[in-house]
Chain A
């Protein structure tokens, strides 16, 4: 397995080089350029030329790319073209950290509702509760956030005045509640269904029958045997979503005033802030590769029938 992991990790730089080259070339040859956006409607060619040359944007694309890669290897993602005088690394780090915290809170909501719910539904198999609860979670999953956010805001903020309407104050601030709920609820459906299936799967196992035969209480069996076994696939699935934890959607961010990375990335595209776009793409690519690898490893650890080679 060590060899397998090493091989996968060795692929990473090659993959990143390919991703970065494509992003760089698409950005450079696409219409519009960052200096134009910087100067807005007050564009004049001489000023633009000067700025391009001092930012190194007038060099051949291949030189710019090589320069970028050599910086990126050393962890220097350059200077933002939109937020002048700011390093891309520090900008992205602070924005991604916010997104990560919001996702963590949302995941907490999904898990704390989804897992017990799925577990409970599994116990109700064959009754009307099962299809009803599954349908309900599906409905909740299908509500777009631009609908769910106003509803939650209206209730919690305007009607009950329980939380501020928007803004950000860190993980331990009341204002994390609305994003956690609105982003966490849609995740409930998937988790509940997964939990339900895996619980039912465990129910059918021989060791459960043995446990019952031994005369153990249902409660003891549930906690000690069913839950612990049923939760394993869920954990594996979660490792997939780790990569996605670094970003949040810009609509949620805009509506709730969360300084996450989603809006920032969208703005970077509109503003042709290439260093930010590049760094963002590279970080996410890395995160996805690593998360997939983790998921693979997790599978092989849990299920001995899966061999990594």
Chain B
């Protein structure tokens, strides 16, 4: 009982900690998802991981397959904790909390299976022109909305145009649809129709993009490119998603803000119909572990405080434990490489070599994180397992420091790493790292916390000398999404102002390279230069790797990205 008490108590501390320190909690600092939504942690936890090496298959043209119509009666209810999605409008979706629900209710031309292979969704086939610029999709004959209305190419054209219409104010339209010819004109209000999208007939949709892009189809799997029902949107007004008429495997049957979302199986679904009758998402939150133990929910992530206990084979929960690869995200410390002392690559490398990440991962995080030596996460297309990176090497670190411009503490400026947060403790990892720098190199570094909204502003304005508590999460499985966006000298998201002509050229070549093997080589070469140049300190491939799933839940796959996967799940005692 003492144990259980300390469990609840530590949960409380953890919760309060995550309230207090906002974004600095590891695994949550990633990207823009749930940036100040601590409960998201526990719910999205499950989105983490799986052993998938998806490599090239993701882009190969998929053969048309008629999927067997499994129409056995749906059984079972799946209960899980979730938090209020900021939106259920696919075109406004930009976070995993929203996407996790949206992908089950709505759908697009193409999707991913649980191995993150590209599969047909509403399009049953597509052709790509020889020059790689024109995509011609054939819409499925049996594709219908939840209310039975047929989905046509015109619906797609209207939906894509709605997504990029300035009045929609989609935060993701440019990222996912910006490659389509004419989208920028619509975004800028110069045109209301996308010139590059044509509905040739009810079943044929043609999309033209501005240059050959291997990752274009992958982008179409994101909700921004999903189809919505025109009548539904215009009739529903501001809260139209309350009566969402989608095309996904589940229908929204009930949504009470802050209380619950109930999804019911869509009997008209065109692919394998869902096996579950219902998904109940508890939005009120609470202590995930306690609710799992109390049989209120069927899945939960395991946090740092419970990990030792759950890992013990004697613990009754141990048999529910599922461990999988980290999600597609990376945590890091960024340097402003134009500002002293980070303008000296030797100094940056010294800092990298001085950190014993293996030790921190083991002792501080109980292996909840995987040390990162590169930028691309394991299992991600282009992940380079041969990449050596800047490993822990105190001797080399000292040597590099002594050779650097800042060897003498007298001409070393004050060093401050800024992290997001509001008065809580910074991440444990950062405190240890700063201590390692001090002990190995005698370099003193201060931590400074800035509240999230202000942090984002200062980050964009490149006001930070160095910044931490931040991660990057994949939008779509393509190395471009990490390397080009974060390190191209012209990219707006290159907050460290890293600039290398060689890297720029490699990244630009990779954008249009159609040979998949060559393309990956280009990215790996760029990554190696970036890593060895110590533009960052890559820290962790985070994401929760430990999840408890009730033994009667079958077919639940932990994927490193949010995909529509609840239709594979079933309950069996």
| Interface status of B187 (Cβ within 8 A of chain A) | yes
- Give the CA-CA distance A250 to B20 in the complex, in Å: 12
Contact with A40, one of B94, B256, B294 (Cβ below 8 angstroms): B94
- Find B87's partner among A85, A157, A255, A267 (CB 8 Å cutoff): A85
A12 at the B interface (CB under 8 A): no
Task: Say yes or no: is B240 at the interface (Cβ < 8 Å to chain A).
Answer: yes
Establish whether residues B294 and A258, one from each chain, have CB atoms under 8 Å apart when the complex forms. no
CB-contacts of A134-175 with B (<8 A) = 146, 149-150, 153-154, 157-159, 161, 164-169
Determine whether A55 belongs to the interface, using a CB cutoff of 8 Å to chain B.
Answer: yes
Chain B count of residues within 8 A CB distance of the other chain = 68
Tell me, rounded to whole Å, the shortest Cβ–Cβ distance linking A150 to chain B. 5
Shortest C-beta distance, B9 to chain A (Å), equals 5
Contact flag A40-B285 (CB < 8 Å), given A55-B169, A168-B259, A267-B36: no
Q: Is the CB of B287 within 8 A of A32?
A: no
Interface residue stretch chosen among B423-431, B451-459, B503-511, B534-542: B451-459
Is A236's beta carbon under 8 Å from chain B?
Answer: no
Looking at the assembled complex, report how far the CB atom of A208 sits from the nearest CB atom of chain B, in whole angstroms.
Answer: 48
Residue B171 is within 8 A (CB to CB) of chain A in the complex: yes
* A40 contacts B31, C-beta separation under 8 Å: yes
Measured CB to CB, the closest approach of chain A to B476, in angstroms, equals 13
The answer to whether A36 has its CB under 8 Å from any CB of chain B is yes
Tell me, rounded to whole Å, the shortest Cβ–Cβ distance linking B223 to chain A. 13
Asked if B224 CB lies within 8 Å of chain A CBs, one says: no
Chain A contacts for B1, CB-based, 8 A: 154, 159
Interface residues of B in 160-206 (CB under 8 A from A): 166-169, 171, 173-175, 187-188
Residues from chain A with Cβ under 8 Å of B453 in the complex: 31-34, 36-37, 270-272
Q: How far is the CA of A46 from the CA of B256 in the complex (A)?
A: 35
CB-CB under 8 A from A149, the residues of chain B are 12
Contact status B492-A44, CB under 8 Å: yes
List of B residues within 8 angstroms of A153 by Cβ: 8, 287, 290
**Known pairs A31-B454, A41-B459, A85-B89; A270 contacts B36 (CB<8 A):** yes
B544 within 8 A of A: no
Report yes or no: B294 in contact with A157, Cβ–Cβ below 8 A: yes
A161 to B167, CA, bound (A): 51
Instruction: Please give, as numbers and ranges, the residues of chain B lying within 8 Å of A228 by CB-CB distance.
Output: none
Nearest chain B CB to A33's CB is how many angstroms away?
Answer: 7
Q: Could you mark each residue 442-483 of chain B with 1 if its beta carbon is under 8 Å from any beta carbon of chain A, else 0?
A: 000000000111101101100000000010100000000000
A255-B12 contact given A40-B32, A47-B174, CB 8 Å threshold: yes
Given A41-B32, A85-B92, A150 and B8 touching (CB < 8 A)?
A: yes
> Do B19 and A251 touch (CB < 8 A)?
yes
Partner of B169 from A54, A157, A253 at Cβ < 8 Å: A54
Let me know if B22 is at the binding interface, CB within 8 A: yes
Q: Using Cβ atoms and an 8 Å threshold, which residues of chain B touch A44?
A: 174, 492-493
Is A281 an interface residue, CB under 8 A from the partner?
Answer: no
Interface readout for A69-102 with B: 1 if CB under 8 Å, 0 if not? 0000000000100111111001100110010000
Are A166 and B285 touching (Cβ within 8 A)? Answer: yes
Q: Report how far A157 CA is from B39 CA in the complex, Å.
A: 21
A8 at the binding interface (Cβ < 8 Å): no
Q: CA–CA, A98 to B460, complex, Å?
A: 38
Minimum CB–CB distance from A185 to chain B (whole Å) comes to: 17
Q: A150-B9, A259-B259 are in contact. Are A83 and B452 (CB under 8 A)?
A: no
Contact of B454 (CB < 8 Å), options: A32, A39, A159: A32
Find out whether the CB atom of B5 lies under 8 angstroms from the CB atom of A154.
yes
Q: Is A38 an interface residue (CB 8 A)?
A: yes
Contact B166 A53 (CB under 8 A): yes
Q: Find the residue from B32, B38, B86, B188 having the highest chain A CB count within 10 A.
A: B86
Which residue from A164, A254, A256 sits with its C-beta under 8 Å from B19? A254
- Bound complex: CA A43 to CA B485 (Å): 11
Check A244 for interface membership: any CB of B closer than 8 A: no
Q: Please measure, in the bound complex, the distance between the C-alpha atom of A68 and the C-alpha atom of B24, giving whole angstroms.
A: 34
Is A224 an interface position by the 8 A CB rule?
no
Residues in B neighbouring A33, C-beta threshold 8 A: 453, 457
B35 within 8 A of A: yes
With a CB–CB cut-off of 8 A, which chain A residues contact B456? Answer: 32, 36-37, 40-41, 43
CB-nearest residue of chain A to B294: A165
Task: Decide: A257 and B238 in contact? CB cutoff 8 A.
Answer: no
Near A by CB (< 8 A), chain B positions 237-256 give: 238-241, 256
Q: What's the nearest-Cβ distance from chain B to residue A143, in Å?
A: 13
> B198-247: which residues lie under 8 A (CB-CB) from chain A?
238-241
Please indicate which of the listed interface residues B1, B22, B31, B257 has the most CB atoms of chain A within 10 Å of its own CB.
B257
Q: In the complex, what distance in Å separates the CA atom of A90 from the CA atom of B238? A: 11
| Given A36-B456, A270-B22, A50:B287 Cβ within 8 A | no
The yes or no answer to A284 lying at the interface (CB within 8 A) is no
CB neighbours of A85 from chain B (8 A)? 87-89, 92, 238-241
Knowing that A164-B296, A260-B258 touch, tell me 17 more A-B residue pairs with CB under 8 angstroms. A31-B454, A31-B457, A37-B452, A40-B35, A50-B169, A83-B87, A84-B92, A94-B256, A95-B257, A150-B9, A150-B12, A158-B4, A166-B285, A166-B290, A168-B284, A257-B284, A267-B37
Instruction: Enumerate 22 A-B pairs (CB-CB under 8 Å) in ascending A order.
Output: A32-B457, A33-B453, A38-B94, A40-B33, A40-B95, A42-B31, A42-B94, A44-B493, A46-B187, A47-B171, A82-B86, A83-B84, A84-B92, A146-B12, A146-B16, A164-B296, A167-B284, A168-B259, A254-B39, A255-B12, A267-B37, A271-B36
3 closest A-B pairs by beta carbon, nearest first, are: A40-B32, A259-B258, A166-B286
